[in-house]
């Protein structure tokens, strides 16, 4: 299992040919209390870097971009009733969607955990 990160604070945790996508702990902390999450329907094809979900918090609404291209195979329906899961456990129960990767090579352009940690030091 590999986790990769974007400069816009999304993560993708790769499990076989599927990537679990969400926002990082840093991103949820910047947003504040999440009150609503809009997710795409399963079966939708998404492109790396394109908007794939919307997160609304008490501070702002923010677009979540797909860290990889592929087909949405599952969404986290628990977020409809409990959007606060994004704050409580962003990389666990607060995941957004699962994407069947169409091009695993895209992962190479994303940051690994150590690189992301260094990137956070630079932005905070």
pLDDT tens for 61-70 read 999 999 999 9
pLDDT, tens only, 4-49: 999 999 999 999 899 999 999 999 999 999 999 999 999 999 999 9
- Residues 98-120 have pLDDT tens digits of 999 999 999 999 999 999 999 99
Q: What is the mean pLDDT of residues 88-102?
A: 97
Residue 16, pLDDT score? 87
Q: CATH class for domain 2-123?
A: mainly beta
Please say if the pLDDT value at position 89 is more than 90.
yes
Domain ranges of the chain: 2-123
For the record, the structure tokens of 39 come out as 């997710």
Q: What is the pLDDT of residue 94?
A: 98
| pTM across the whole model | 0.95
Residue 52's Cβ-count burial label (10 Å; 0-12, 13-18, 19+) is: buried
Query: Per-residue pLDDT for 87 more than 80?
Result: yes
CA separation, residue 57 to residues 23, 27, 77, 82, 114 (Å): 13, 11, 18, 13, 28
């Amino acid at each position: 299992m590999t986790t990769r990160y974007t400069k816009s604070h999304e993560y993708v945790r790769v499990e076989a040919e599927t990537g679990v996508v969400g926002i990082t702990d840093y991103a949820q902390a910047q947003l504040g209390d999440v009150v609503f999450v809009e997710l795409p329907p399963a079966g939708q094809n998404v492109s790396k870097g394109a908007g794939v979900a919307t997160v609304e918090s008490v501070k702002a609404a923010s677009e979540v971009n797909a860290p990889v291209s592929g087909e949405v195979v599952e969404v986290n329906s628990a977020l409809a009733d409990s959007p606060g899961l994004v704050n409580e456990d962003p990389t666990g129960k607060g995941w957004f969607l699962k994407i069947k990767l169409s091009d695993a090579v895209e992962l190479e352009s994303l940051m690994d955990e150590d690189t992301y940690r260094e990137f956070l030091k630079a932005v905070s």
